[in-house]
Amino acid sequence: MDSTAIIDALLRENPGDPSWFEPVDSADGMPTVYVLAEHLVDTCRVLRDSPELRFVLLADITAVDYLPRTPRFEVIYLLVCPGTSGFGTTPRRLRLKVRLPAGATIPTVSTVWPAANWAERELYDMFGIVVEGHPDLRRILMPEDWEGHPGLRDYPVQIKMPVKTYEPLQLTEQEFVANIETARSQSHRE
Amino acid sequence: MPQLETTPELRTETMTVNMGPQHPSTHGVLRLVLELSGETVVNADTTVGYLHTGIEKTAEQKKWQQVIPLVERMDYLGAQSNSLAFCLAVEKLLGVEMPDRVTDIRVLIAELQRIASHLVWMATHALEIGAVSVMMYCFRERELLLNINEMLAGFRMFPSYLRIGGLREDLPADFHKTVKEFLDRFGPKLDEYEGLLTRNQIWLKRTKGVGVLSMQDTLDYGLVGPIARAAGVAYDVRRAFPYLGYDTYEFDVPVGSAGDVYDRYLVRVEEMRQSASISRQALERITPRGVYDIQDYRIVPPPKDKVYTEMEALIQHFLIYSQGFTVPAGEAYVPVEGPRGEHGFSIVSDGTNRPYRIKLRAPSFYACQGLPKLIVGGMIADVIAVIGSTDVVMGDVDR
């Protein structure tokens, strides 16, 4: 199934405008389709549920920063139809891509594939791409107080940063005892 | 009679326990914040990132061939499965075909790597559940595999033996003999280890019905690999999307049904047997001496005797070591079946001698994400068994 056949199947399942999708050739021969960000979630749902397509597995989400090109980002979803155990008939792969201008947001697909949760957190952490509707959009690999997003092409890599250290929480003996007693009295009152 | 004061109502409050990041059974630095009600886990929060070294970002500053030692350090138990995935992706963009001998050697190395990784998993997993002697035995066999790595490249954990365009050098003398000796020894030893665990009452009680995951859940959470196969999804990249000529090898894809810790154990043990069988088949195909790269000296360095005698070879040698080679612009993703599941590099080239972007599809990253799904509702003592059964490697998670 090549990328145009996948688009045809998509349009059969979920009538829409063919201009939402754009098939492209890829160097590794994997079917590749661009989709508009506003139709991403619907498309993903059809890709997962349609008996013809059955892309039940989200292998990975990644992004590429094409600075200074506009639109700046491409977000890439690697999908797999395993083709066994009742999940599709033949193993297939699809690369779904979304062009994203700098500062734009992308809707979450974690409602379609729960696996997208952490992958989208990494997307936010590395590229600063805000994922709309995400249940828990925090940094995942970098510390929470880190400045900047290291995946960006204009992120400085040759600079020296002072090593950040954290002081352990310091309590005096009186404060410690007071804390314990407050907690104890609270739990007894309940 | 004085009114007796009744005891206050039984307090039912949950307790929050921090596990990790330096807990010996978290396979690195994984932090779990568990909310317990008695001994039952009611909530779990996973924190990762302690081992983040920014390898993907560093690789953007390196030449293509300099990336290989870096990526081998991502999943440090399946090092050569990383470099294999990376080499295959770059070779896809370069559009080069490997000679059969190189492909067969790569299959052999990938399968030995799988055995080595599964041995470490079995050792640590058994140790955590209490079978200390299995740990000693497994590490003994793994030592032999590390010796083979040392023979190949002089480095035990990260040999960087697989290169873009072939291998670093030809196989060492006595390689066939050493590998054959290992394989002859390994089969009976594996039966012995199974004898210690598979029908062991304690092992069965600790693992059966623990950490159950359904077929649908494994796919939803992207846990392809041994975890999905234990639940019944017969998806193996070697079968579904054959690479390195895996379709010409005879092997079975072991599939479980219960999706619990015990089935994951059975699947991995059987995988080791299959890997040993594939290794034997590959070893038969490999001649002791022969071509070990594509002999295209724009991509691989020319042999030293030519560099010393021919002008052309000297120029090529100089170019490779000073500027590297350029890779045509484009994007490639070539998945391989690593020890922990689907491993693959998404690489993007802009046509220069350095990668524009690389990204690893890390199976452990997704396994870590699925952990709360596995441990919530179970007992706290089972948390250790479940983490062990998912075989997460934190270097793979944090990259």
Structure tokens at B283: 């070893």
CB pair distance less than 8 Å for B356 and A64: yes
Give the strand pairing for A131-132 and A106-107. parallel
The pLDDT score that the predictor gives to residue A27 is 81
Spans in chain A with pLDDT lower than 70: 186-190
CB pair distance less than 8 Å for B240 and A84: yes
How far away is chain B from the Cα of A27, in angstroms, using its nearest Cα? 6
Task: Flag whether residue A45 sits within 8 Å of chain B, measured between CB atoms.
Answer: no
Question: How many A×B Cβ pairs under 8 Å?
Answer: 113
pLDDT in tens, B4-59: 776 666 666 777 788 877 776 666 788 888 888 888 888 888 888 888 888 888 89
Cα nearest neighbour of B362 on chain A: A60
pLDDT in tens, A126-153: 998 999 888 888 888 888 888 888 888 8
CB pair distance less than 8 Å for B241 and A26: no
At position B49, the amino acid (one-letter code) is G
pLDDT in tens, B322-344: 888 889 988 999 899 989 888 88
Cα nearest neighbour of A142 on chain B: B49
**Cβ–Cβ < 8 Å for B182, B188:** no
Interface test with B, best of A25, A74, A84 (most B CBs within 10 A): A84
Give the strand pairing for A32-35 and A92-100. parallel
The pLDDT score that the predictor gives to residue B86 is 92
Give the SS3 label for residue B51.
Answer: coil
**Cβ–Cβ < 8 Å for A95, A26:** yes
CB pair distance less than 8 Å for A114 and B221: yes
Task: Report the complex ipTM.
Answer: 0.86
According to DSSP, residue B249 is labeled S
Give the SS3 label for residue B205.
Answer: helix
Strand partners of residue B329: none
What's the number of CA atoms in the CB half-sphere (13 Å) around residue B95?
Answer: 8
Helices (H), B253-362: 261-285, 304-309, 311-322
pTM above 0.95, yes or no: no
Cα nearest neighbour of A127 on chain B: B57
Q: Which residues of A touch B221 (CB under 8 A)?
A: 114-115
CB pair distance less than 8 Å for A117 and B357: no
Interface test with A, best of B51, B91, B366, B374 (most A CBs within 10 A): B366
Cα B314 to Cα B311: distance, rounded to the nearest angstrom: 5
Q: CA dihedral in degrees (B222, B267, B371, B132; nearest 10)? A: -150
pLDDT at B240 over 70: yes
Cα B50 to Cα B33: distance, rounded to the nearest angstrom: 15
**Cβ–Cβ < 8 Å for B383, B123:** no
pLDDT in tens, B270-323: 999 999 999 999 999 998 888 888 888 888 888 888 889 999 999 999 988 888
Cα nearest neighbour of B257 on chain A: A85
How far away is chain B from the Cα of A94, in angstroms, using its nearest Cα? 11
CB pair distance less than 8 Å for A27 and B398: no
In A19-70 the beta strands, taken as DSSP E runs, fall at 21-24, 32-35, 57-65
Structure tokens at B362: 């890390």
Cα B10 to Cα B399: distance, rounded to the nearest angstrom: 47
pLDDT in tens, B126-138: 888 888 888 889 8
A78's CB contacts (< 8 A; 6+ apart) are A58, A59, A60, A61, A62, A93, A94, A95, B333, B344, B346, B361
CB pair distance less than 8 Å for B92 and A28: yes
The pLDDT score that the predictor gives to residue B6 is 67
Count of residues in chain A: 190
How far away is chain A from the Cα of B282, in angstroms, using its nearest Cα? 25
Q: Which residues of B touch A83 (CB under 8 A)?
A: 235, 240
Structure tokens at B139: 């590490």
The pLDDT score that the predictor gives to residue B214 is 87
- Please choose, from the candidates A187, A180, A183, the residue with its C-alpha nearest in 3D space to the C-alpha of residue B11: A187
Task: Flag whether residue A89 sits within 8 Å of chain B, measured between CB atoms.
Answer: no
CB pair distance less than 8 Å for B240 and A30: no
CB pair distance less than 8 Å for B346 and A62: yes
- Please choose, from the candidates B106, B90, B110, B58, the residue with its C-alpha nearest in 3D space to the C-alpha of residue B300: B90
Give the SS3 label for residue A13.
Answer: helix
DSSP code per residue over B144-194: HHHHHHHHHHS-SS----EETTEESSPPPTTHHHHHHHHHHHHHHHHHHHH
pLDDT in tens, B218-227: 888 888 889 9
Phi, psi of B290 (to 5 degrees): 165, -165
In chain B the beta strands, taken as DSSP E runs, fall at 15-19, 31-37, 40-47, 162-163, 166-167, 330-338, 341-349, 357-361
Chain A, residues 138-167, CB within 8 A of chain B, namely 139-143, 150-151, 155, 157
Unique residue bearing structure tokens 């952990």: B371
The secondary structure of chain B in percent helix, strand, coil, rounded to multiples of 5, reads 50, 10, 35
The pLDDT score that the predictor gives to residue A7 is 75
Give the SS3 label for residue B247.
Answer: helix
The pLDDT score that the predictor gives to residue A12 is 77
H helix count then E strand count, chain A: 4, 7
Strand partners of residue B341: B338
pLDDT in tens, B249-260: 988 889 988 888
Cα nearest neighbour of B215 on chain A: A85
CB pair distance less than 8 Å for A114 and B365: no
Cα B374 to Cα B386: distance, rounded to the nearest angstrom: 7
According to DSSP, residue A29 is labeled -
B256's CB contacts (< 8 A; 6+ apart) are B229, B230, B231, B232, B263, B264, B266, B267
pLDDT in tens, B60-106: 889 998 899 999 988 888 888 899 999 999 998 988 888 999 999 99
